[in-house]
Homo-oligomer: A and B are copies of this chain.
Amino acid sequence: MLTIHHLAMSQSERVVWLCEELGLDYRLVRYERTSAMAAPAEYKALHPAGTAPTIEDGGVVLAESGAVFAYILAKYGDGRLACGPEDADFAEYLFWLHFANGTIMPSQIAGLVLRSLGVTAGNPLSDGVVSRVAQAEAMMEARLTAAPFLGGANFTAADIMNLFALTTLAIFAPRDLGPFPHLRAYIARIRQRPAYLRAMALAEPNRAHG
């Protein structure tokens, strides 16, 4: 059986959500962060990368969000929550599937690092990062003005990948989404999905959801 090792307040909440959307049988093991907000030693020992998410499946131990999503979708997705090459939405689906960890999250995380160093507004690096996050949000707003979901007509894994940046990661890097009404409505809408609520109740039982 598939095992999801979930580190609290981390990207692995997306894997729980993915498995709930797919209706898979899986085992969830939850790990609290240390007082320094790091992964505990037991989590780091799961895979040489030491990062969340990490999953196990038979003899396979796999890390990296993009790899874990590709693995679960290919092994257990049966074509659901994805677009194939024959689909008109294929390129957009791929773009948004990779957008979370490739574009918006690196800029958000860079912003957190700069803030921890006391590098703030007025510094060109800080201003550059803020502008890249705003550009990413504006791209999402434009996309969600044109289509109901990031991947196009249907809810897909691309939506699951990106919501983390706008919810859990945004707890550390809060943003005013006032200028982006379609993005705000989208977030409110997909947070009401039953599979999301089930996943978050399991993955983050100490937070309010929905």
Contacts and interface: CB of A to CB of B under 8 A. Distances in A.
A48 B99 CA distance: 12
B142 A48 contact: yes
A117 interface: yes
A56 to B, nearest CB: 10
Contact of A71 (B91, B116, B119, B142): B91
B49 A71 contact: no
A142 B103 CA distance: 29
Interface string A92-115: 001101110111001001100110
Given A70-B94, A139-B49, A65 B125 contact: no
A136 to B, nearest CB: 8
Contacts of A183: none
Contacts of A84: 74
A84 B70 CA distance: 11
A94 B71 CA distance: 7
Interface centre among A49, A98, A139 (most CB of B within 10 A): A98
A210 interface: no
Contacts of A171: none
Given A48-B142, A71-B91, A91-B60, A125 B99 contact: no
B119 A63 contact: no
A26 interface: no
Interface string A131-144: 00001000100100
Given A49-B103, A116-B125, A64 B110 contact: no
Given A91-B71, A119-B117, A125-B117, A139 B48 contact: yes
A103 B54 CA distance: 14
Nearest to A101: B102
B48 A67 contact: no
